[in-house]
Homo-oligomer: A and B are copies of this chain.
Amino acid sequence: MSIETDIKQKKFRSPFQKLALNLVYTTKWLEYKQLESFKEHDITPQQYNVLRILRGQQGNPIKVSDITERMLDKSSNTSRLVDKLLAKNLAKRTSCESDRRAVDVVITEEGLELLKVLDPFIEDWENRFNIISEEEAEQISALLDKLRENENQA
């Protein structure tokens, strides 16, 4: 369905306004889809994001502040997210020797297993994107990058 139908708005001030609304709307849609897979496994999208980052470390520990840097939502409270993973035995936390302010986080075997269970679900809805071509996907990505370019202007 077109964004016009979805939010029942016939006219937009500009193609840019329409795009802005469409971005927010499509992302909410996407997050909602993801949520459906996540909630049966008692994990939030944010926690999943952290788990993925931890797995990406391939066994190496990573500091909380470095996790934040890699997150999609950098304003989130990584400290408490890690707490949640800890409580579920999906991650381990050890104090960092070289900098005693910092804390090293590693994914546990159980965390890796959970990701393995979730992977097919995630791939599944990513594959729905096949409705557009790989080139089109790359092209949108490039344009989105461009949109964020003048972040520190204005």
Contacts and interface: CB of A to CB of B under 8 A. Distances in A.
A17 interface: yes
Interface string A47-77: 0000000001000000000000111111100
A88 interface: no
A149 interface: yes
A9 B72 contact: no
B72 A7 contact: yes
A35 to B, nearest CB: 9
A41 interface: no
A2 B149 CA distance: 8
Given A9-B70, A24-B31, A140-B140, 10 more contacts: A7-B71, A14-B134, A15-B134, A16-B137, A22-B140, A26-B147, A28-B72, A129-B147, A131-B146, A131-B147
- Report, as a range, how many residues of chain A touch the other chain: 35 or more
Nearest to A5: B145
Given A69-B8, A154-B124, A30 B24 contact: yes
